[in-house]
Amino acid sequence: MNGDDAMTTIPEDARTTTPDRGGSTPGPRPAGARLSRHCAALPPSVIAEALRGAARDRAISLAAGSPAATALPVDEVRSLIDRVLTRPGALQYTDTGGLPALREWFAADVSRRTGRAVHPRRIVVTHGSQQGLDLVCRALLDPGDTVLVDRPSYSGALQLLTLHQARVRDVPIASDPELTALDRALARESSVRPVRMVYVVPSYANPTGDSLSAGQRAGLARLAERYDCVVVEDDPYRQLGFRTSSADAVTDRGSDRGSERVITLGSLSKVLSPAVRIGYLVAPEPLRTPLSRLKEAADLGNSALTQQLAHALLTTPGLLDHQVARLRGLYRERRDTLVAALREHLGDEIAFAVPDGGFFVWARLTRGLDTTELLPTALGEGVAFVPGAAFYAREPERATLRLSYATADPGELAEGCARLARAVRTAGAK
Protein backbone atom coordinates (compact mmCIF):
# COMPACT_ATOMS: atom_id res chain seq x y z
CA MET A 1 0.00 0.00 0.00
CA ASN A 2 1.45 3.35 -0.88
CA GLY A 3 0.69 6.61 0.84
CA ASP A 4 -2.10 7.52 -1.57
CA ASP A 5 -3.85 4.18 -1.03
CA ALA A 6 -3.68 4.73 2.69
CA MET A 7 -5.17 8.18 2.29
CA THR A 8 -8.17 6.85 0.40
CA THR A 9 -9.09 4.53 3.25
CA ILE A 10 -9.11 7.02 6.10
CA PRO A 11 -12.14 9.09 6.95
CA GLU A 12 -12.41 12.73 5.92
CA ASP A 13 -11.88 13.97 9.45
CA ALA A 14 -8.73 12.01 9.97
CA ARG A 15 -7.45 12.85 6.51
CA THR A 16 -7.48 16.55 7.32
CA THR A 17 -5.09 15.81 10.15
CA THR A 18 -2.47 13.86 8.24
CA PRO A 19 0.39 16.28 8.58
CA ASP A 20 2.59 17.31 5.73
CA ARG A 21 5.84 16.82 7.55
CA GLY A 22 8.67 16.49 5.13
CA GLY A 23 6.85 14.57 2.40
CA SER A 24 7.00 11.22 4.23
CA THR A 25 4.45 8.58 3.32
CA PRO A 26 3.18 5.71 5.43
CA GLY A 27 5.35 2.60 5.17
CA PRO A 28 4.46 -0.58 3.25
CA ARG A 29 1.80 -2.89 4.61
CA PRO A 30 3.41 -5.78 6.49
CA ALA A 31 2.76 -9.20 4.96
CA GLY A 32 -0.28 -10.92 6.45
CA ALA A 33 -1.40 -7.93 8.49
CA ARG A 34 -4.12 -5.45 7.72
CA LEU A 35 -3.27 -2.22 9.45
CA SER A 36 -5.92 -0.22 11.25
CA ARG A 37 -6.81 3.03 9.50
CA HIS A 38 -5.19 5.16 12.14
CA CYS A 39 -1.99 3.11 12.04
CA ALA A 40 -1.86 3.16 8.24
CA ALA A 41 -2.29 6.95 8.30
CA LEU A 42 0.69 7.43 10.61
CA PRO A 43 3.61 8.88 8.66
CA PRO A 44 7.14 7.73 9.52
CA SER A 45 8.85 9.96 12.04
CA VAL A 46 11.07 12.54 10.34
CA ILE A 47 13.16 12.74 13.51
CA ALA A 48 13.69 8.97 13.56
CA GLU A 49 14.75 9.16 9.91
CA ALA A 50 17.22 11.96 10.67
CA LEU A 51 18.62 9.98 13.62
CA ARG A 52 18.93 6.81 11.53
CA GLY A 53 20.71 8.83 8.85
CA ALA A 54 23.06 10.27 11.45
CA ALA A 55 23.90 6.82 12.84
CA ARG A 56 24.34 5.27 9.38
CA ASP A 57 26.65 8.03 8.16
CA ARG A 58 28.37 8.41 11.55
CA ALA A 59 27.38 12.04 11.38
CA ILE A 60 27.59 14.60 14.17
CA SER A 61 24.08 14.78 15.52
CA LEU A 62 22.51 18.18 15.89
CA ALA A 63 19.26 16.24 15.50
CA ALA A 64 18.89 14.27 18.73
CA GLY A 65 17.00 15.63 21.70
CA SER A 66 18.80 13.21 24.04
CA PRO A 67 20.51 14.55 27.16
CA ALA A 68 24.30 14.91 27.04
CA ALA A 69 26.09 11.69 27.97
CA THR A 70 27.85 13.58 30.77
CA ALA A 71 24.50 14.82 32.11
CA LEU A 72 23.28 11.38 33.11
CA PRO A 73 23.52 10.58 36.83
CA VAL A 74 25.45 7.31 36.41
CA ASP A 75 27.28 7.37 39.74
CA GLU A 76 24.16 8.37 41.66
CA VAL A 77 22.15 5.53 40.10
CA ARG A 78 24.93 3.06 40.84
CA SER A 79 25.08 4.05 44.47
CA LEU A 80 21.29 3.87 44.93
CA ILE A 81 20.28 0.84 42.92
CA ASP A 82 21.33 -1.82 45.49
CA ARG A 83 19.43 -0.06 48.24
CA VAL A 84 16.40 0.23 46.00
CA LEU A 85 16.49 -3.48 45.13
CA THR A 86 16.19 -4.50 48.76
CA ARG A 87 13.01 -2.49 49.27
CA PRO A 88 9.78 -4.50 49.55
CA GLY A 89 7.99 -4.73 46.24
CA ALA A 90 10.82 -3.38 44.10
CA LEU A 91 10.43 -6.28 41.68
CA GLN A 92 6.63 -6.55 42.00
CA TYR A 93 3.61 -4.94 40.41
CA THR A 94 2.63 -1.75 42.16
CA ASP A 95 -0.33 0.64 42.24
CA THR A 96 -1.56 1.48 38.74
CA GLY A 97 -1.49 5.22 39.39
CA GLY A 98 2.08 5.02 40.65
CA LEU A 99 4.17 4.18 43.70
CA PRO A 100 2.43 6.06 46.54
CA ALA A 101 5.64 7.69 47.80
CA LEU A 102 6.49 8.95 44.31
CA ARG A 103 3.00 10.36 43.76
CA GLU A 104 3.33 12.13 47.09
CA TRP A 105 6.67 13.60 46.04
CA PHE A 106 5.30 14.87 42.72
CA ALA A 107 2.14 16.24 44.40
CA ALA A 108 4.21 18.11 47.00
CA ASP A 109 6.51 19.47 44.27
CA VAL A 110 3.60 20.70 42.12
CA SER A 111 1.89 22.19 45.20
CA ARG A 112 5.04 24.07 46.17
CA ARG A 113 5.55 25.47 42.68
CA THR A 114 1.99 26.43 41.92
CA GLY A 115 1.08 27.61 45.42
CA ARG A 116 -1.98 25.35 45.34
CA ALA A 117 -2.43 22.14 47.26
CA VAL A 118 -2.51 19.19 44.86
CA HIS A 119 -3.59 15.88 46.38
CA PRO A 120 -1.41 12.85 45.47
CA ARG A 121 -4.49 11.07 44.14
CA ARG A 122 -4.50 13.58 41.28
CA ILE A 123 -1.05 12.38 40.16
CA VAL A 124 -0.75 9.53 37.65
CA VAL A 125 2.82 8.31 37.15
CA THR A 126 3.45 7.69 33.44
CA HIS A 127 6.14 6.44 31.10
CA GLY A 128 7.33 9.97 30.41
CA SER A 129 5.37 12.92 29.18
CA GLN A 130 4.72 11.15 25.89
CA GLN A 131 2.55 8.56 27.60
CA GLY A 132 0.92 11.29 29.65
CA LEU A 133 -0.20 12.94 26.44
CA ASP A 134 -1.35 9.62 24.98
CA LEU A 135 -3.53 8.92 28.03
CA VAL A 136 -5.03 12.41 27.89
CA CYS A 137 -5.80 11.98 24.17
CA ARG A 138 -7.40 8.59 24.89
CA ALA A 139 -9.51 10.16 27.60
CA LEU A 140 -10.69 13.20 25.65
CA LEU A 141 -10.53 12.70 21.90
CA ASP A 142 -12.81 10.99 19.44
CA PRO A 143 -11.70 10.75 15.79
CA GLY A 144 -12.18 14.10 14.07
CA ASP A 145 -12.16 16.16 17.28
CA THR A 146 -10.33 19.45 16.95
CA VAL A 147 -7.06 20.15 18.77
CA LEU A 148 -5.21 23.47 18.52
CA VAL A 149 -1.42 23.48 18.84
CA ASP A 150 1.32 26.08 18.69
CA ARG A 151 2.92 26.78 15.33
CA PRO A 152 5.47 25.17 15.22
CA SER A 153 4.89 22.36 17.72
CA TYR A 154 6.58 19.27 19.18
CA SER A 155 6.64 16.60 16.48
CA GLY A 156 5.96 13.73 18.92
CA ALA A 157 2.70 15.39 19.93
CA LEU A 158 1.74 15.90 16.28
CA GLN A 159 2.42 12.22 15.64
CA LEU A 160 0.29 11.17 18.59
CA LEU A 161 -2.55 13.49 17.61
CA THR A 162 -2.47 11.96 14.12
CA LEU A 163 -2.71 8.50 15.69
CA HIS A 164 -5.78 9.66 17.60
CA GLN A 165 -7.23 10.98 14.33
CA ALA A 166 -7.53 14.48 15.71
CA ARG A 167 -8.27 17.42 13.47
CA VAL A 168 -5.15 19.45 14.23
CA ARG A 169 -4.94 23.17 13.57
CA ASP A 170 -1.81 25.16 14.38
CA VAL A 171 -1.72 28.85 15.32
CA PRO A 172 1.00 31.02 16.86
CA ILE A 173 0.67 30.80 20.65
CA ALA A 174 4.02 31.42 22.39
CA SER A 175 4.93 34.18 19.92
CA ASP A 176 1.58 35.94 20.44
CA PRO A 177 1.62 37.79 23.80
CA GLU A 178 -2.14 38.52 23.82
CA LEU A 179 -3.12 35.09 22.41
CA THR A 180 -5.16 36.91 19.79
CA ALA A 181 -4.60 34.31 17.06
CA LEU A 182 -5.58 31.50 19.42
CA ASP A 183 -8.70 33.33 20.54
CA ARG A 184 -9.71 33.84 16.90
CA ALA A 185 -8.97 30.23 16.00
CA LEU A 186 -11.01 29.00 18.97
CA ALA A 187 -13.94 31.17 17.91
CA ARG A 188 -13.67 30.07 14.26
CA GLU A 189 -13.13 26.35 14.95
CA SER A 190 -15.74 26.16 17.71
CA SER A 191 -18.35 27.40 15.28
CA VAL A 192 -17.61 24.32 13.11
CA ARG A 193 -17.31 21.75 15.91
CA PRO A 194 -16.14 21.82 19.53
CA VAL A 195 -12.42 22.24 20.17
CA ARG A 196 -11.40 19.65 22.76
CA MET A 197 -7.84 20.59 23.55
CA VAL A 198 -5.10 23.18 23.25
CA TYR A 199 -1.64 21.61 23.47
CA VAL A 200 1.37 23.72 24.49
CA VAL A 201 4.97 23.24 25.65
CA PRO A 202 5.10 26.14 28.13
CA SER A 203 8.82 26.27 29.00
CA TYR A 204 11.80 26.35 26.59
CA ALA A 205 9.70 24.64 23.98
CA ASN A 206 10.67 21.95 21.57
CA PRO A 207 11.45 23.11 18.86
CA THR A 208 11.49 26.92 19.38
CA GLY A 209 12.96 27.42 22.86
CA ASP A 210 10.09 29.86 23.58
CA SER A 211 8.37 30.07 26.98
CA LEU A 212 4.90 31.29 27.87
CA SER A 213 4.63 34.29 30.19
CA ALA A 214 2.54 34.09 33.35
CA GLY A 215 -0.02 36.25 31.53
CA GLN A 216 -0.19 33.83 28.60
CA ARG A 217 -0.64 30.87 30.97
CA ALA A 218 -3.47 32.60 32.76
CA GLY A 219 -4.91 33.65 29.40
CA LEU A 220 -4.88 30.04 28.21
CA ALA A 221 -6.91 28.94 31.23
CA ARG A 222 -9.43 31.73 30.60
CA LEU A 223 -9.79 30.75 26.95
CA ALA A 224 -10.26 27.11 27.98
CA GLU A 225 -13.13 28.19 30.25
CA ARG A 226 -14.69 30.34 27.56
CA TYR A 227 -14.50 27.70 24.82
CA ASP A 228 -15.11 24.69 27.06
CA CYS A 229 -11.90 22.81 26.28
CA VAL A 230 -8.77 21.73 28.18
CA VAL A 231 -5.22 23.05 28.02
CA VAL A 232 -2.49 20.42 28.08
CA GLU A 233 0.80 21.87 29.34
CA ASP A 234 3.63 19.49 28.41
CA ASP A 235 6.54 20.71 30.50
CA PRO A 236 9.67 18.50 30.36
CA TYR A 237 12.17 21.40 30.05
CA ARG A 238 10.80 23.49 32.93
CA GLN A 239 13.93 23.38 35.11
CA LEU A 240 16.40 23.95 32.29
CA GLY A 241 16.44 27.75 32.13
CA PHE A 242 19.78 29.53 31.79
CA ARG A 243 18.91 32.91 33.24
CA THR A 244 17.80 31.84 36.65
CA SER A 245 19.35 30.28 39.69
CA SER A 246 16.06 29.43 41.37
CA ALA A 247 15.03 25.79 41.65
CA ASP A 248 12.29 26.40 39.11
CA ALA A 249 13.36 28.12 35.97
CA VAL A 250 9.95 29.25 34.87
CA THR A 251 7.61 30.46 37.52
CA ASP A 252 4.45 28.51 37.19
CA ARG A 253 2.85 30.02 40.23
CA GLY A 254 -0.65 30.52 38.96
CA SER A 255 -0.07 28.02 36.16
CA ASP A 256 -2.33 25.38 37.63
CA ARG A 257 -4.67 28.20 38.66
CA GLY A 258 -7.06 25.81 40.30
CA SER A 259 -8.55 25.28 36.89
CA GLU A 260 -10.10 21.91 36.18
CA ARG A 261 -9.21 22.67 32.59
CA VAL A 262 -5.42 22.64 32.80
CA ILE A 263 -3.66 19.27 32.61
CA THR A 264 0.05 19.42 33.40
CA LEU A 265 2.51 16.79 32.15
CA GLY A 266 5.91 16.47 33.81
CA SER A 267 8.94 14.27 33.12
CA LEU A 268 12.26 13.23 34.59
CA SER A 269 13.66 12.53 31.11
CA LYS A 270 15.54 15.79 30.62
CA VAL A 271 16.75 16.38 34.18
CA LEU A 272 17.60 12.85 35.34
CA SER A 273 17.36 10.23 32.61
CA PRO A 274 15.00 9.34 29.75
CA ALA A 275 15.80 5.67 30.41
CA VAL A 276 13.94 5.61 33.72
CA ARG A 277 10.82 6.50 31.67
CA ILE A 278 9.15 8.34 34.54
CA GLY A 279 6.80 11.21 34.07
CA TYR A 280 3.52 12.21 35.62
CA LEU A 281 0.32 13.96 34.86
CA VAL A 282 -1.71 16.15 37.18
CA ALA A 283 -5.28 15.16 36.51
CA PRO A 284 -8.18 17.52 37.07
CA GLU A 285 -10.48 15.89 39.63
CA PRO A 286 -13.14 14.75 37.10
CA LEU A 287 -10.50 13.02 34.95
CA ARG A 288 -8.66 11.28 37.76
CA THR A 289 -10.54 7.98 37.61
CA PRO A 290 -10.79 7.76 33.80
CA LEU A 291 -7.06 8.46 33.43
CA SER A 292 -6.14 5.84 36.05
CA ARG A 293 -8.31 3.30 34.27
CA LEU A 294 -6.68 4.12 30.96
CA LYS A 295 -3.24 3.71 32.53
CA GLU A 296 -4.30 0.32 33.86
CA ALA A 297 -5.59 -0.75 30.46
CA ALA A 298 -2.42 0.49 28.77
CA ASP A 299 0.25 -1.21 30.88
CA LEU A 300 -0.95 -1.97 34.45
CA GLY A 301 1.34 0.74 35.79
CA ASN A 302 4.99 1.74 35.67
CA SER A 303 7.78 -0.50 36.89
CA ALA A 304 8.08 -0.49 40.69
CA LEU A 305 11.85 -0.71 40.32
CA THR A 306 12.28 2.45 38.27
CA GLN A 307 9.76 4.28 40.44
CA GLN A 308 11.70 3.31 43.56
CA LEU A 309 14.87 4.44 41.84
CA ALA A 310 13.30 7.75 40.79
CA HIS A 311 12.02 8.31 44.31
CA ALA A 312 15.46 7.58 45.77
CA LEU A 313 17.08 10.01 43.29
CA LEU A 314 14.54 12.74 44.03
CA THR A 315 14.75 12.39 47.80
CA THR A 316 18.52 12.12 48.20
CA PRO A 317 19.36 15.46 49.85
CA GLY A 318 20.84 17.94 47.37
CA LEU A 319 20.97 15.51 44.45
CA LEU A 320 18.30 17.09 42.26
CA ASP A 321 19.33 20.70 42.97
CA HIS A 322 22.93 19.87 42.20
CA GLN A 323 21.97 18.01 39.03
CA VAL A 324 19.75 20.85 37.78
CA ALA A 325 22.44 23.46 38.49
CA ARG A 326 25.01 21.34 36.66
CA LEU A 327 22.74 20.83 33.65
CA ARG A 328 21.99 24.53 33.34
CA GLY A 329 25.72 25.28 33.20
CA LEU A 330 26.41 22.44 30.77
CA TYR A 331 23.63 23.29 28.33
CA ARG A 332 24.24 27.04 28.55
CA GLU A 333 27.83 26.47 27.52
CA ARG A 334 26.74 24.23 24.65
CA ARG A 335 24.13 26.75 23.56
CA ASP A 336 26.80 29.45 23.49
CA THR A 337 29.12 27.22 21.46
CA LEU A 338 26.43 26.40 18.91
CA VAL A 339 25.29 30.03 18.59
CA ALA A 340 28.88 31.28 18.11
CA ALA A 341 29.63 28.55 15.55
CA LEU A 342 26.43 29.25 13.60
CA ARG A 343 27.35 32.94 13.43
CA GLU A 344 30.91 32.16 12.43
CA HIS A 345 30.16 29.60 9.73
CA LEU A 346 26.76 30.61 8.42
CA GLY A 347 26.64 34.34 9.12
CA ASP A 348 23.61 35.92 7.51
CA GLU A 349 22.64 32.67 5.78
CA ILE A 350 20.85 31.68 8.98
CA ALA A 351 18.43 33.51 11.30
CA PHE A 352 17.50 32.40 14.79
CA ALA A 353 16.59 33.59 18.26
CA VAL A 354 18.98 32.63 21.06
CA PRO A 355 17.06 30.34 23.44
CA ASP A 356 17.00 30.98 27.21
CA GLY A 357 16.88 27.32 28.13
CA GLY A 358 16.05 23.82 26.95
CA PHE A 359 17.81 21.86 24.22
CA PHE A 360 17.19 23.57 20.86
CA VAL A 361 17.96 26.42 18.50
CA TRP A 362 15.15 26.95 16.02
CA ALA A 363 16.51 28.49 12.83
CA ARG A 364 15.61 29.54 9.31
CA LEU A 365 17.83 29.55 6.24
CA THR A 366 17.51 33.05 4.92
CA ARG A 367 17.89 32.08 1.27
CA GLY A 368 14.85 29.85 1.58
CA LEU A 369 16.44 26.43 1.01
CA ASP A 370 14.12 23.50 1.71
CA THR A 371 15.75 21.82 4.71
CA THR A 372 14.11 18.44 4.00
CA GLU A 373 15.95 18.46 0.68
CA LEU A 374 19.11 19.74 2.36
CA LEU A 375 19.29 16.87 4.87
CA PRO A 376 20.85 14.22 2.55
CA THR A 377 23.55 16.72 1.52
CA ALA A 378 24.18 17.53 5.18
CA LEU A 379 24.41 13.82 6.04
CA GLY A 380 26.90 13.49 3.18
CA GLU A 381 28.96 16.21 4.88
CA GLY A 382 28.64 14.35 8.20
CA VAL A 383 26.08 16.37 10.13
CA ALA A 384 22.41 15.73 10.98
CA PHE A 385 19.61 18.11 11.97
CA VAL A 386 15.83 17.89 11.99
CA PRO A 387 14.08 19.59 9.06
CA GLY A 388 11.53 22.10 10.30
CA ALA A 389 8.69 20.47 8.36
CA ALA A 390 8.53 17.84 11.16
CA PHE A 391 7.08 20.47 13.50
CA TYR A 392 4.16 21.81 11.49
CA ALA A 393 0.68 20.34 11.52
CA ARG A 394 0.03 21.91 8.11
CA GLU A 395 1.74 24.05 5.50
CA PRO A 396 5.29 23.74 6.81
CA GLU A 397 7.78 26.57 6.55
CA ARG A 398 10.33 24.57 4.66
CA ALA A 399 13.41 26.72 5.26
CA THR A 400 13.28 26.09 9.02
CA LEU A 401 15.35 23.56 10.96
CA ARG A 402 15.87 22.43 14.55
CA LEU A 403 19.42 22.25 15.86
CA SER A 404 20.03 20.50 19.17
CA TYR A 405 22.94 21.48 21.39
CA ALA A 406 22.08 18.85 24.01
CA THR A 407 23.70 15.74 22.64
CA ALA A 408 26.90 16.72 20.79
CA ASP A 409 29.87 17.97 22.83
CA PRO A 410 31.27 21.48 22.22
CA GLY A 411 33.94 20.30 19.75
CA GLU A 412 31.33 18.40 17.76
CA LEU A 413 28.94 21.35 17.85
CA ALA A 414 31.55 23.64 16.29
CA GLU A 415 32.56 21.07 13.66
CA GLY A 416 28.89 20.25 12.99
CA CYS A 417 28.23 23.90 12.12
CA ALA A 418 31.21 24.01 9.74
CA ARG A 419 29.77 20.93 8.00
CA LEU A 420 26.28 22.40 7.94
CA ALA A 421 27.65 25.55 6.30
CA ARG A 422 29.35 23.44 3.61
CA ALA A 423 26.08 21.59 2.97
CA VAL A 424 24.14 24.87 2.72
CA ARG A 425 26.65 26.26 0.23
CA THR A 426 26.66 23.09 -1.86
CA ALA A 427 22.86 22.96 -1.95
CA GLY A 428 22.60 26.71 -2.59
CA ALA A 429 24.96 26.46 -5.56
CA LYS A 430 22.78 23.82 -7.30
Binding site residues, ligand PMP, CB under 6 A: 65, 128-130, 154, 156, 201, 206, 234, 236, 267, 269, 274, 279
CA distance 152 to 168: 12
- Looking at beta carbons only, is 156 or 241 nearer to ligand PMP? 156
Secondary element (H or E) of residue 133: helix 128-140
In the complex, the smallest distance separating the C-beta of residue 98 from ligand PMP, rounded to whole angstroms, is 14
Tell me the residue ranges of DSSP E strands in 82-155: 123-126, 146-150
- Looking at beta carbons only, is 129 or 323 nearer to ligand PMP? 129
**DSSP of 309-341, one letter per residue?**
HHHHHHHSTTHHHHHHHHHHHHHHHHHHHHHHH
Q: How many helices (H) and strands (E) are present in the chain, helices listed first?
A: 15, 13
Residue 184 near residue 191, CB atoms below 8 Å: no
In the complex, the smallest distance separating the C-beta of residue 349 from ligand PMP, rounded to whole angstroms, is 27
CA distance 372 to 117: 46
CA distance 415 to 239: 29
- Looking at beta carbons only, is 53 or 358 nearer to ligand PMP? 358
In the complex, the smallest distance separating the C-beta of residue 103 from ligand PMP, rounded to whole angstroms, is 17
In the complex, the smallest distance separating the C-beta of residue 399 from ligand PMP, rounded to whole angstroms, is 22
In the complex, the smallest distance separating the C-beta of residue 156 from ligand PMP, rounded to whole angstroms, is 6
Alpha-helix runs per DSSP H in 29-127:
37-40, 46-56, 74-85, 100-114
In the complex, the smallest distance separating the C-beta of residue 316 from ligand PMP, rounded to whole angstroms, is 21
- Looking at beta carbons only, is 22 or 65 nearer to ligand PMP? 65
Secondary element (H or E) of residue 224: helix 214-227
- Looking at beta carbons only, is 390 or 423 nearer to ligand PMP? 390
- Looking at beta carbons only, is 76 or 234 nearer to ligand PMP? 234
